[in-house]
Structure 1
């Protein structure tokens, strides 16, 4: 069993601050060495991922369609659902606030994948 730190404090516009919570969470076996927990803080992706959930983020993995991604945006992190557009570009979106971003246009160092979730 490996424990990783949990970060997360709500910011405006659906962003999440990478603020340490002082808590830890068990990481899945597939988690890379830089994995961490991220408190969702609010249901930005809709009711399927409540605000009290914690996701396990692996910055060493790049997301794929049908999964979830975390992107660094300004002073915070944004949680996004991932899909592909008709033109083959990777798109990330959230519901609250209603955002759509082309993940292909973001520096890969600022994009991570969600490899698990824990619901409270």
Structure 2
């Protein structure tokens, strides 16, 4: 008897009746139920494996995207600091070539 093909029809023996036919039918029903369970379990495992690999792939894509965004934010922050420093630097280290004369006359006189 071949039990590997789940699509085969149950063995029909018209000459045998009674217990042996019921046992054969029960065994065939058991075999077909087990075959369906094995097929469903296999399909479920394949689906879970695909889902798991897709989840891992998505995890790495999100990780790299987040790291890239963090790097861009840090670089823009450093750039802003450098630009703002260039706006507010005072030329205190540069010496003027001509001295500024001090006037001895008062600028304002107070009169009463």
TM-score by length of 2: 0.17
Larger proportion of helix = 2
Larger RCO (alpha carbons 8 Å, 6+ apart): 1
TM-score by length of 1: 0.17
Larger proportion of strand = 1
